[in-house]
Amino acid sequence: MAEPGVRGAAATAAADRRWRLRHLPVLLAATGLLMVTAALAGAVTGGAVAALGAALGVGVTAASYTLTTVVLAWADQVNPQLVLPFGLGLYAAKFTLLGVVMVGVASTGWAGLIPLCLGIAAGVVGWTGVHIWWLTTVHARRAGGVRGG
């Protein structure tokens, strides 16, 4: 028999099916601001091509992380045992695709390659930082704070 607290948490999660995606609008808004900032930094340091590369880099990261978030939320809702295989499969597919795209872009000699790479790195740092902030502030408040054990 399940403990009362476990049963209550499961009922709450079942009642709120959107909890898995609740953080996504905040992350996307922050990423949009980062994309504009990256484009401005690129424009100042390297002109229009650098601005485009930097903004595209942040966009690539946002698209990748958003895809992962949506797919894993779906898998968790369908059956939590699907999260690991879908997560690993998606990870392998995304990095294979990213590698192919980066090699293809590098072979063209496009001047925006370095800003693109820097934009990807900035997107990773920005997305991860905002996600940590959201988990430790907004989500922690909704969940009743962090409990010590």
Tell me, what DSSP letter sits at residue 138?
A: I
Q: Where is pLDDT greater, at 105 or 18?
A: 105
- Predicted pLDDT at 148: 46
Q: Which of 4-8, 30-34, 58-62, 101-105 has the lowest mean pLDDT?
A: 4-8
pLDDT average, residue stretch 20-34:
93
- Predicted pLDDT at 14: 52
Q: What is the mean pLDDT of the chain?
A: 87
Q: Dump pLDDT digits (tens) for 4-19.
A: 555 555 555 555 567 7
pTM of the model as a whole? 0.81
Model confidence at 149, pLDDT cuts 50, 70, 90, reads very low
- Predicted pLDDT at 146: 53
Q: Is 95 left (phi over 0), alpha (psi -120 to 50) or beta?
A: alpha
- Predicted pLDDT at 11: 53
Task: Give, in order, the Cα–Cα distances in Å from 81 to each of 5, 21, 22, 68, 110.
Answer: 22, 18, 21, 16, 43
